[in-house]
Structure 1
Amino acid sequence: MLYVILVAAIIIFWLVAVDRPVLKVSFLHGKISKVKGHFPAKFRHNVEEIASIVPFDGSFKVYQQRTGTKLVFTDAVPKKVQQRIRNVFPHQGFRNRSSNKRA
């Protein structure tokens, strides 16, 4: 009985505490250094253009939530660059899978 409670606690901890972004992009000197997840081509092109104009280091993550998507930037990304990336972010490209279902 104790092992069932232990397994349930581990599963709950994993679901709550583990960082699971839909997309993670890292930059180094204005170039994309690492990409993990689905990165739409048009959004990638726009982000590369922004990074070439204003080179920066840092990263951003895209999280899927019930209300939509959420962009999270590291502190190294300047605020003006953050806003430019938010402006070109394709909200339809990261549509919630459950929103397409009908009752």
Structure 2
Amino acid sequence: MLYVILIAAIVIFWLVAIDRPVLKVKFEEGKISQEKGHFPPTFKHNVIDIASHAPFSGELKVYQQRTGVKLVFSKQVPKKVQQRIRNVFPHQGFKSKGNKKAS
């Protein structure tokens, strides 16, 4: 019985505490230094263009949620750059995995 509780605790910890973004991009002085996950080509082109005009360092993470996607920026990314990236973000490129019935 104890092993079942231990396994359940490990699974709950894994689901809650582990950071699992769909896309993770690191920037250093306006250049993409690291990317992990699905990065649509048009979005990548737009982000590179934004970063070349206003160089910044920081990190962008995209999380999949039930209601859609959530963009999370590190504190080093300026607010104006964050808004420009949000404006070009392709919400259609990050569809939720579940099947939704149209009513």
State the TM-score, normalized to the length of structure 1.
0.95
Measure how far apart 1:99 and its partner are: 3.5
Identical residues among aligned pairs (%): 72
> Deviation per CA, 1:6-38, whole angstroms, max 9, x where unpaired?
011100110111110000000001000000000
Measure how far apart 1:4 and its partner are: 1.0
Q: Which amino acid aligns with 1:17?
A: A
Q: Is there any run of 5+ residues in structure 2 with no aligned partner, and where?
A: none
Write the distance in 1 (CA, Å) between the matches of 2:28 and 2:44.
15
Measure how far apart 1:101 and its partner are: 6.7
SS of 1:55's equivalent in the other structure is coil
Q: Which residue of 1 aligns with 2:41?
A: 41
Structure 1 runs of 4+ aligned residues shifted over 2 Å read 99-102
> Deviation per CA, 1:62-86, whole angstroms, max 9, x where unpaired?
0000000000000000000000000
Q: Which amino acid aligns with 2:15?
A: L
Aligned residues: 102
Write the distance in 1 (CA, Å) between the matches of 2:15 and 2:5.
15
Q: Which residue of 2 aligns with 1:57?
A: 57
State the TM-score, normalized to the length of structure 2.
0.95
Write the distance in 2 (CA, Å) between the matches of 1:6 and 1:16.
15
Task: Identify the structure with the greater helix proportion.
Answer: 1
Write the distance in 2 (CA, Å) between the matches of 1:57 and 1:73.
11
Write the distance in 1 (CA, Å) between the matches of 2:88 and 2:29.
21
SS of 2:98's equivalent in the other structure is helix
Moved more, 11-20 or 45-54: 11-20
SS of 1:97's equivalent in the other structure is coil
Q: Which residue of 2 aligns with 1:23?
A: 23
Q: Which residue of 2 aligns with 1:4?
A: 4
Write the distance in 2 (CA, Å) between the matches of 1:49 and 1:78.
16
Q: Which amino acid aligns with 1:87?
A: N
